Amino acid sequence: MMLRKARSVGSWGRSAIAPLVVLVLCYITGCEKSTTDASIHTISVSEARALLEQRNKDQRVVLLVDPRAPQDFEAGHIPHAINLRLKEVPSNSAPEKRFTAYDTIVVYGEDPGSASASAMTKRLIGVGYESVRLLVGGLAEWAAQGGEVVKGR
């Protein structure tokens, strides 16, 4: 049995792979050309609650976006939230009038480390929505602070 010595990728191979990995990750996570984590503005649970209280007077004050899987959304979500998946907002799309009518869009995920919520926030900012905020702590923090969680669609 003859064993072959593994070939080294070399400096050119390594330097060519890194940008490719970055491009693939950006495509998967939804980071558009100029939208980075620094583009994300956050909102606290108490600030989100205040917006929801205002929503009772004017429904166009805030739109809550939950980008989690439909079964997770149905298992529990913040009242009045919509379940909007990343694939439903193509990176080359334009803002839709049904969403631009809201003063603020609040995106949340399961917890503070929710990749889907961060990606959705960046995607919405990247396609041109204004006043998009990421809920700090996500649904877990919302519930921990006594926020209502509803089940079903």
Q: What is the pLDDT of residue 17?
A: 54
Enumerate the domain spans of the chain. Answer: 32-144
For the segment 139-150, the average pLDDT, to the nearest whole number, is 96
pLDDT in tens, 124-144: 999 999 999 999 999 999 999
Distance from C-alpha of 86 to C-alpha of 40, rounded to nearest angstrom? 16
- Using the predicted structure, report yes or no on whether residue 115 has a pLDDT greater than 80: yes
Q: What is the pTM of this model?
A: 0.76
Q: What is the pLDDT of residue 136?
A: 93
Res. 39 pLDDT band, cuts 50 70 90: confident
Distance from C-alpha of 49 to C-alpha of 125, rounded to nearest angstrom? 22
Distance from C-alpha of 12 to C-alpha of 31, rounded to nearest angstrom? 26
32-144 under CATH 3.10.129.10, yes or no: no
